[in-house]
Structure 1
Amino acid sequence: MLLFIISQLAPILTRQTIYILLPVGAALLLLSASLTPETRRLREIAVLALTPTALAAFFFVGWTGLSLAWTPFGAGPAERYAKSAATLALVAAACALLPARTKTSNLNLLPIGTGAAAAALAAVALLSASGGDQPVDLDSNALQRAGLGLALAIWPALGALALRGRWVSAALFALVSVAACLLARAPNALPALMAGALALALSFGKARRAGSLLAILSAALILLAPLAPILVHLVAPERLPAFAAPLETWGRIIANDGPRLFIGHGFGAAVFGVAGHYLYPDTPRSLLFQVWFDLGILGALGLAAVVARAFYVIGRTRPVLAPFLLGGLATGLTICVLGPAAEQLWWLTLAGLNAIAYALVLKGQFRTRRPRLEPNGGMGRLVVR
């Protein structure tokens, strides 16, 4: 948990620390698990690996790796895939090896660490605003990266406060965190947080129904994403406003792709194509475009299955916790859809740390007050109430 707090604070000043903390934390969990091996824990992990969500994730990762066989770029995509797969493996191992129950003291560290990160980010953003211009490139702007990471971390921290019944603290924490994200000028953070707030509002008191609805909507968004650019390209490509130009470009690419629409151009083709100026300058930076361009319809099916299952499963967790976690999923998906954060490895690492935070909260103790001990005069012993 201390590593999680550090991971929230360190990206404000440096971009490299986050790549170190995740392997260190996973290694510590692996070491602790090896010191106290449990046969039952291994069986639980094996059962978890055969769930529909895990199988969909295995298919998506496997198809992505297979697409390296026809990617037009050499070692770059393979190296990127290896780093991404290693990050996902570390996250999966960390989540699987967490203790069966999260202690209340550890659960409290989530909002404490995230709140400290929000306060530090707001202070640094205010000081930087008076000290000159910040780098425009998201990959070079530590404040914007930290703002996007905070937009993700808000939700499990709010869930931890909700589990403890700290509703006033949760409201104040949300206000401070959102203000810090806005001060950091993180790209697309505001619409993403608005989408998360909408998901939160829809799921209060009816998390199961909201989880199922969000699962359907997210899958439809991923699978039907090419329809909008195709229509834009066919209807009026020459009379489009500037903000719609990337859609027309995507529609033009689809019209020329042919069979590539089914298998894609191979992992990394979109990112390296834009970086090498092989694709149009206004090519979309959205995760939706990357998945369809790189992996085709099979990759889109795999991603849709993973995202839909995530919404469905989270919607069936504890009623007091599910709305906040659904809001976090909606926020993360919106950031990926709007781009360009999803094409960066640091974003995958931040999302992985957020997944670990989700696992910690889901295993949190449900009790919201200390047990009360009362003497039992007839039996001569204490009774816990």
Structure 2
Amino acid sequence: MTIPPGTRRPVGYAARIASYLTRRAGSQRAEAWAMVALKVLALALAVVCVVVVVVAVQESGWRGLVVAPFALVGMLLALGITVLAGNELVRDRLRPGRGYHRLGARDVAALPATVEPDPGPAGDDVAEPPEGALISSPRGQATLFTRAAVCLVLGLPAAAFVVLSLLAYVHQVWAGWSSPDVDAWAWDAPQHFGELGRWFFTDESLVVPVKQGEVTVQVLVVLLSAVPLGAGIILAQQAVPALLRRGAAAIDLGVVQTGAVTRGGLALGWDEISAALVVRDQRVTADVERRGTTAGGRLPPFVLRPTFVRGQSRTRVALVLRDVRDVAARATGPQRRGLLVDDDVTHGYALCDLWVHPADRVTETLAALAAGARRARVPVSIVDREIAES
């Protein structure tokens, strides 16, 4: 996609928003949640250390205190990880730049009484879609719909396994509450839950040899179907809105002489926009990505990216607002879905999600946006969302 001319590096609050939009990469969030999981496991280890000492004393008397020094060291190390390790990483990567959230009714209700609704540049609450506007529609999305459907169908075995396990554990909870005969938790409840559970977990008539041993066909199918299930859920999140959004709610971005029209028909004048950020997702660039030199040939030479759909722009635009409270006061319900604000509703932006739109049409719209912004002396910046090297 061609970069519009006249772009520059974001500064001020635009730089903060750019950092928020680009640093929420999936790998970084995964690292943060992995650190949270590590803290939970460390806390569990500290509890286990205490339990070990108690059990040792109960079974061996005071001689059991021999293990106390070792358990104490393990408990202190585990508590140190729980309390001290990775706190800054978690805060920075889960809520970089203090974070932004979608404007809600509570945010509007909390606005000072001195803030009065501004009719906006068009003088109407809802602007009509301008000519050439990018509008969410099922048209031209056949590839997206087809791939989402195929992935969801291929992921049915994994979905069935999850549903079966959940139903089995729910039944276990109900049985424990309603029957006095059930006094222990059975982690193997799914394998006793109906004929399907018994067949899946205990029937070993069909096995497949693998490198480290054998695995049943049903387990192998579930493991293999987990990947397309995850991809299908991600693609469905892109496809469903294109089917449901109608009218002004389907507007993603339109450029007019006086400014821009965003989701819900919210008209923004150039004087209300302090900066425009074009956020391009560069984490995935092809549906089949070839690796470089693999470690000893252990890794496959290519990686499949089922969520990558050719032709999509993979682009979002953030219009940073000069006075978000004025815009929030006059925004209607559907228009608020495109407004993101900080906790104090002092800074925010209008998010235009152009991800699924064709790249060529997005390029034309961005060129018009850059030209209008240049005339109004509104800086336009290109920021890339990438996977961090470290």
TM class by smaller structure: under 0.3
Which structure: greater strand fraction?
A: 2
Structure of larger gyration radius: 2
